[in-house]
Structure 1
Amino acid sequence: MASAMVVTTGVVASRANKRSVCGPGGGGGGGVARGAEEEPPPPLQAVLVADSFNRRFFPISKDQPRVLLPLANVALIDYTLEFLTATGVQETFVFCCWKAAQIKEHLLKSKWCRPTSLNVVRIITSELYRSLGDVLRDVDAKALVRSDFLLVYGDIISNINITRALEEHRLRRKLEKNVSVMTMIFKESSPSHPTRCQEDNVVVAVDSATNRVLHFQKTQGLRRFSFPLSLFQGSGDGVEIRYDLLDCHISICSPQVAQLFTDNFDYQTRDDFVRGLLVNEEILGNQIHMHVITKEYGARVSNLHMYAAVCADVIRRWVYPLTPEANFTDNTTQNCTHSRHNIYRGPEVSLGHGSILEENVLLGSGTIIGSNCSITNSVIGPGCHIGDNVVLDQAYLWQGVRVAAGAQIHQSLLCDNAEVKEQVILKPHCVLTSQVVVGPDITLPEGSVISLHPPDAEEDEDDSQFSDDSGADQEKEKVKLKGVRLSRLQSSRSRSCRPGLSLESRRHEYGRRRGTTAESLGTQNQHGRRE
């Protein structure tokens, strides 16, 4: 059955107006007879937060929001919406704050807003959202959710079938009179796995019999941690202490979750919520459970390290059926063919004589590769132009990037329309943001981040309290960039940047001050193994 598309913007709509759009009977199609003996389960809803409330991708996210960053030439939010639709979600509320107009424009042009979409997408925008807590308090104020719903961010890459987890969640709530308010999804993953990052590492104490979460703690920066002795007293079925879990950031929530965020204004993140409920479990009577998957895939692209790891997994087909040639977005420019050694070629791709595509390479539509090039473990976006004798190793090139002859790019990211001149060498972990031009005949040291955007005064403020990601260390020093465009780096070291800025000061500004931003592009040669 075709479902109507309704778009709601702003947060000024009254509760009555919201009910007229999203009330019972909306989004799922077809009413339910009141006299029926057994009502079918209500349409599954989802709350998608299209903002990270941190600057983990700055300065890249200065040009476009994180959820629109291309991963294997597909916007992150498209992966999330495809996952939600495949898992049976019929109505998704997309909450936007940073660069909301770009997100709205992207969604309105996508298949998610067609009348035939199985998942009705409703867009809600506001500049007042500063945290996940603000979003869920708005969900409660507008009475948007009527039953259990999924809570996700817009940078989730997953092929998890949550049917079993959802059934277990609903059964617990039925048997225990709505005591369980949330089920968190985890993936079994060893601590050394490439998709594990320090920011997201957690240790969880769980009841062996019921999967009830007893203790939840992030471990970044901790050399040791402790557990309350009460966890091990009176637990006849035993308690498991688990450090082999990857938090997928997918949560099955009851409507009470939004209400609890309203009642507790100090809850800003999901971690705040989990800690608050576990500490006050005996008083509030609410419980949190977990569901662990072993074979399916689920990860959040929370930083550049995770971007590289997840992108490699998509190319290596670990997220099947979300593979590059599947074109689940129905965008003709994203069509491509798949061949041996995970080589993907889009339409109208030109490959020069003597050029070698070794393995795990994606070439976007209309890309031109010169002669005698060597490309491995790399993603090249649509409309790129690669000159002769170029070496690309673990390189991520977005739309319209130009690389001149003799250049070498290793473990680096080049954003839309960036340009690398002749004989330029990019050492590992370099980032060139949109429109940046470098070269010719220079070598960028490891960890260099070049951007056209000067740092803002507000960027010195630590925003980690509004995010489930812990903040990177920040320094107070700033570089004066007024009137400077980093659009071209000259060949000599003394003239490596335009007047008023040295390459070294810029590198340290984003290499040290932003912490993991530049250094997060991890080595990919481990991505093929699975533990």
Structure 2
Amino acid sequence: MAPKKVSGVPLTAGEEPLTAVILADSFTQRFRPMSLEKPKVVLPLVGVPMISYTLEWLASNKMSKVYVFCCAHAEQVKQHLQDAEWTKEGASMDVQVIVSTACKTAGEALREIDIKDIIKSDFVLVSGDVVSNMDLGAALEAHKARRDRDKNALMTMVMKAGMTASQRRRRGDNALTVAVDPHTRRLLRLEEVEPGKPMPKQAVIDAHFWGETDQVEIRSDLAHTHIYICAPEVLMLFSDNFDYQNVHRDFVLGVLSEEELGQQIHIHELYREYAACVQTLRAFDAVSRDILQRWTFPFVPDTNLLPLSGTQGVSSYKMSMSRLEVTYKEDNVQLGRTAVIGHDTAIGDGTVIGDDAQVEASVVGRNCRIGRGAHITGCYLLDNVSVGDQAQVSHSLLCDGVSVGAHAMIFPGSVLSFKVRIGERQEVERNTSISMCQQLQQSASMSDDDLEYAADPAASPPEESEPSTANGAASTQEEIPIADGQGFSEELVGPMGQGYRWQAHGADMDALRYSIAPPAPHGPMLGDEFSDEESQAATNDEAPDVALLDPDAAFRREVSETFLRCVDMGYDQDLAVIELNGLKIAEARDFADNASYIMTTILSLCLPPAPRVREEYRALFPDTSPDSKTAASKLELKKRLEGQLSKWASLLQKFLRSTDDQVNMLLTLEEFCGEEGIFEGMGEHGHLFEPMFGQLLEVLYDKDVVEEDAFLQWAQEKEHGDEEDRVFLNKAQQFIEWLQAAEEESDDEEAEDSD
């Protein structure tokens, strides 16, 4: 079946044909050991091969011709494109495949394209693992206008704006410091902050730039998308400079360092549109969740636009939504009567899930089998995966044909490559990779990026090695031996299991940083915990906010910033729910955590801004603060709270999914009003709500945020505590007694009715 086209229509008269080059290899080893057997761009994102997202996006932008440059596993890529009818004659977008197995870097690939002399005009250069819904029109128009004025305007880099430290952690991206001319959007300087190092507090700008502009804009919220609009001279520069191996690390920095030649690079910023590159397993997880949460529309599961692998045609997903539980199911899915399917989950055609099994925040491929009582959380199961009864799999990736025995446990960060088998009751430790390909001895000093030229883990750098395939493909089976059924470690895979341990390159910190498992809030894997304003707020100019070293405090800050951004930008509630829910998933938190910190932020909005509130959000807060001691002041504060909850009560209700969630929120409110725990020393004036705590609870009751049963359960838990633990219960005693009386009266009326 031919892929459906969003807007890939023939060009009208007078339009200039558009050409794109897709690099189908990432030229790194980040997806080993999976990429030993299958090209990365054909691995599925929510059931669809990565390269299909890239091609369909180009088709939607009326691209006329696309060259797909393949190195490793070229035949598999060509076969996929043929089966999906991308290379079919007469299609609206002409897709041609270029194969060169000798290229080991992006620079070598672009030099090969230059030699072939097939690019005659401006073109779009993109990686084959990019997912985007951006309209290229504005960026292309700006690029062409600059080219008309100055032929030295060589490249326009598309960059995603508004990236926070949390979003970078979620994707495993490095932080960037970017200097641009605010008038022309010319890139003046770009620095990538290495992992483990703090963001610089200053940027060095060459003096000669001040002769061309009177302003320089320094940005730390931009991220690479790996989408470039290039003049044909870009290819010539790669041919002239053999040390250019990488586009943004070598070419871009090289052009910026040779300003005397007059060559220029500009940037185009994306705000509401989506663009991301799946460079690592961490990005694989983040982009998959973005697709499930519909940030990539129209390239979402239930539009069924994109061709699948082989000759399977397109998908047949249907979306269902209940409160926050968005799920997608294809045809012929069989669910046990007591199976539970949680939020942000997609289940492929022909999959069978047994009774009492639980699947949440996961993508399950086609023709999978999940046994009775099994628990699958935050996982990616490709096709034909089998998970036994009572097995538990958490935040892991299981490739085609993997089998997990009954009662086995797969811990977060694990990658089980094709046809690996885990025995019954076996435990696979965190961040373990297992493959049917046996790994040779490796150098501990090498990293996956260092090995982007290598054919196997023991290979030499390019100048010392023979030509070999890239992206993790082995040139011969002798270099990466395929399992012969001998030598499996029972300690690793259990009795009757099969597979070899595959050791990641580089330091343990890198393994954590690129793991398929979600990052810990402000954990050690990135070097920019204190890089943004949100995480660099400090009590003095030198020290970072020590409170943010607490994961709870860090997550609370992220929720507060996200909610304030939703308020500031006027998001409707559905969009705010998606963004806040995405943060919850990314940080592996509970709904009650979100609700509690949204509520404390709402309370903060009734008072003047705390010292650590970002400048752009300060206008959301009132200028004056009632002292809450007088009746008039308490009434004013109560009115402010009622006004806020009139807008946001329904949002809170979507996160307060049970009585226990509501009780947990009440406990957090105690800490906020008492300025204890993570609220201590934050200057948020929570103590002003303490004298009127009973009225605060009354407002929550009146606005249907907290139900009667939750208040009574909270009071029951508190009344057996010591005096210190009963402080807030005593302040709310009148309200609680009123609720108890109302409940008794209701019980009496029900008894009379039954008589």
Q: Shorter-normalised TM-score: what interval?
A: 0.7 to 0.9
User: What is the Cα deviation at residue 131 of structure 1?
Assistant: 1.1
User: What is the identity, as a one-letter code, of the residue corresponding to 2:100?
Assistant: S
**Change over 3 Å in CA distance of 1:441–1:127 after alignment to 2:** same
User: What is the identity, as a one-letter code, of the residue corresponding to 1:382?
Assistant: R
**Structure 1 counterpart of 2:341:** 357
Q: Quick check: 1:72–1:311 contact (8 Å CA) kept in 2? A: yes
Q: Distance in 1 between matches of 2:447 and 2:361?
A: 35
Cα RMSD, aligned residues only: 3.5
Deviations 1:451-480 (A, max 9, x none): 111224688765636869xxx9x9xxxxx9
Aligned match for 1:339, one of 310, 313, 320: 320
Q: Quick check: 1:28–1:90 contact (8 Å CA) kept in 2? A: no
Q: Distance in 2 between matches of 1:361 and 1:499?
A: 28
Deviations 1:497-525 (A, max 9, x none): 78999x8xx37667957942795113289
Question: Structure 1 residue 275 and structure 2 residue 253: aligned?
Answer: yes
Identical residues among aligned pairs (%): 33
Structure 1: give runs of 5+ residues left out of the alignment: 3-26, 33-39, 475-479
Higher RCO, 1 vs 2 (CA within 8 Å, ≥6 residues apart)? 1
SS at structure 2 position matched to 1:266? coil
- The residue correspondences of 1:29-428 to structure 2 (distance < 5 A) are 40-176=14-150, 178-194=151-167, 197-221=171-195, 222-223=197-198, 225=200, 226-230=203-207, 233-234=210-211, 236-270=213-247, 271-282=249-260, 284-330=261-307, 331-332=312-313, 334-340=315-321, 341-428=325-412
User: What is the identity, as a one-letter code, of the residue corresponding to 1:426?
Assistant: I
Q: Distance in 2 between matches of 1:251 and 1:495?
A: 44
Q: Quick check: 1:383–1:400 contact (8 Å CA) kept in 2? A: yes
SS at structure 2 position matched to 1:262? helix
Q: Distance in 1 between matches of 2:126 and 2:495?
A: 41
- The residue correspondences of 1:432-443 to structure 2 (distance < 5 A) are 432-443=416-427
User: What is the Cα deviation at residue 447 of structure 1?
Assistant: 1.1
**Higher CA-based Rg:** 2
SS at structure 1 position matched to 2:207? helix
Q: Distance in 1 between matches of 2:442 and 2:287?
A: 30
Deviations 1:189-210 (A, max 9, x none): 3332435545443211101111
User: What is the identity, as a one-letter code, of the residue corresponding to 1:184?
Assistant: M
Aligned match for 1:520, one of 512, 515, 521: 515
**Change over 3 Å in CA distance of 1:186–1:463 after alignment to 2:** same
Q: Quick check: 1:447–1:519 contact (8 Å CA) kept in 2? A: no
User: What is the identity, as a one-letter code, of the residue corresponding to 2:257?
Assistant: V
User: What is the identity, as a one-letter code, of the residue corresponding to 1:298?
Assistant: A
User: What is the Cα deviation at residue 319 of structure 1?
Assistant: 0.4
User: What is the Cα deviation at residue 113 of structure 1?
Assistant: 2.1
Q: Distance in 2 between matches of 1:118 and 1:514?
A: 46
Q: Quick check: 1:369–1:386 contact (8 Å CA) kept in 2? A: yes
Deviates more, 1:214-223 or 1:142-151: 214-223
User: What is the identity, as a one-letter code, of the residue corresponding to 2:384?
Assistant: G
User: What is the identity, as a one-letter code, of the residue corresponding to 1:95?
Assistant: F
SS at structure 1 position matched to 2:518? coil
SS at structure 1 position matched to 2:582? coil
Q: Quick check: 1:195–1:299 contact (8 Å CA) kept in 2? A: no
**Change over 3 Å in CA distance of 1:188–1:483 after alignment to 2:** closer
User: What is the Cα deviation at residue 91 of structure 1?
Assistant: 0.4
Q: Distance in 2 between matches of 1:488 and 1:500?
A: 6
Normalized against structure 2, the TM-score is what? 0.60
Deviates more, 1:88-97 or 1:447-456: 447-456
Q: Quick check: 1:268–1:466 contact (8 Å CA) kept in 2? A: no
Q: Distance in 2 between matches of 1:367 and 1:443?
A: 24
**Change over 3 Å in CA distance of 1:464–1:223 after alignment to 2:** same
Normalized against structure 1, the TM-score is what? 0.83
Deviates more, 1:192-201 or 1:214-223: 192-201
Q: Quick check: 2:302–2:316 contact (8 Å CA) kept in 1? A: yes
Deviates more, 1:218-227 or 1:117-126: 218-227
**Change over 3 Å in CA distance of 1:251–1:500 after alignment to 2:** closer
User: What is the identity, as a one-letter code, of the residue corresponding to 1:223?
Assistant: P
Structure 2: give runs of 5+ residues left out of the alignment: 3-7, 460-479, 521-579, 587-755
SS at structure 2 position matched to 1:366? coil
User: What is the identity, as a one-letter code, of the residue corresponding to 2:134?
Assistant: I
User: What is the identity, as a one-letter code, of the residue corresponding to 1:285?
Assistant: G
**Change over 3 Å in CA distance of 1:357–1:179 after alignment to 2:** same
**Change over 3 Å in CA distance of 1:459–1:419 after alignment to 2:** farther
**Change over 3 Å in CA distance of 1:496–1:529 after alignment to 2:** closer
Deviates more, 1:117-126 or 1:151-160: 117-126
Q: Quick check: 1:187–1:246 contact (8 Å CA) kept in 2? A: yes
User: What is the Cα deviation at residue 327 of structure 1?
Assistant: 1.6
**Change over 3 Å in CA distance of 1:344–1:292 after alignment to 2:** same
Deviates more, 1:407-416 or 1:444-453: 444-453
Q: Quick check: 1:424–1:440 contact (8 Å CA) kept in 2? A: yes
Q: Distance in 2 between matches of 1:500 and 1:375?
A: 25
Q: Distance in 1 between matches of 2:497 and 2:434?
A: 15
Q: Distance in 2 between matches of 1:84 and 1:458?
A: 39
**Change over 3 Å in CA distance of 1:55–1:514 after alignment to 2:** farther
Q: How many residues align?
A: 486
Q: Quick check: 2:187–2:265 contact (8 Å CA) kept in 1? A: yes
**Structure 2 counterpart of 1:9:** none
SS at structure 2 position matched to 1:111? coil
Q: Distance in 1 between matches of 2:226 and 2:10?
A: 29
User: What is the Cα deviation at residue 218 of structure 1?
Assistant: 1.1
User: What is the Cα deviation at residue 115 of structure 1?
Assistant: 3.4
Deviations 1:139-167 (A, max 9, x none): 21111112110000100010011100100
Deviations 1:407-466 (A, max 9, x none): 011101100110000001111111111000002012212111111112246887656368
Q: If each structure's helix is expressed as a fraction of its own residues, which one has the higher value?
A: 2
**Structure 1 counterpart of 2:464:** none
**Structure 1 counterpart of 2:652:** none
Deviates more, 1:356-365 or 1:191-200: 191-200
**Change over 3 Å in CA distance of 1:464–1:524 after alignment to 2:** closer
User: What is the Cα deviation at residue 529 of structure 1?
Assistant: 3.6
Q: Distance in 1 between matches of 2:492 and 2:117?
A: 61
Q: Distance in 2 between matches of 1:224 and 1:248?
A: 20
Q: Distance in 1 between matches of 2:139 and 2:482?
A: 53
Q: Quick check: 1:53–1:463 contact (8 Å CA) kept in 2? A: no
Deviates more, 1:70-79 or 1:271-280: 271-280
Q: Quick check: 1:452–1:486 contact (8 Å CA) kept in 2? A: no
Q: Distance in 2 between matches of 1:392 and 1:30?
A: 47
